[in-house]
Amino acid sequence: MSSYKIILSDNAYKDIKNISTYISKELHDKDAAERSISIFYRTIESLSEFPKRQSIIEKEVGIIPGAIRRVNVKNYSIFYTCSDEEILVRIWRIVYNKREWQNLI
């Protein structure tokens, strides 16, 4: 079994930066921000080996083509698609669980 390549969308990178900034500056906890970001990246990297471990939640949402999957990390959800043809996992968004994610992806 080949490892899937991981690609983060521009929005996913922005999400990570915004989450880190919020935890660091608004919650005044730089250590928690660093731990959270580290967990995000470890979880994302783990998708390279077994990306289909999460169920499909939607066939298509907004501008994201394909079957959307979600993995939960702490109070956040990482939304992604995987392609067997390209051997690729694309991370689309990382969203706080209490937000209406359908409007964000």
Question: Superfamily for 5-95?
Answer: RelE-like (3.30.2310.20)
pLDDT tens-digit profile, the chain (105 residues): 579 999 999 999 999 999 999 999 999 999 999 999 999 999 999 999 999 999 998 776 776 777 899 999 999 999 999 999 999 999 999 999 888 777 766
pLDDT at residue 1 in the model: 57
Is residue 62 within 8 A of residue 81, CB to CB? The reply is no
Domain boundaries of the chain, sorted by first residue: 5-95
pTM beyond cutoff 0.75 = yes
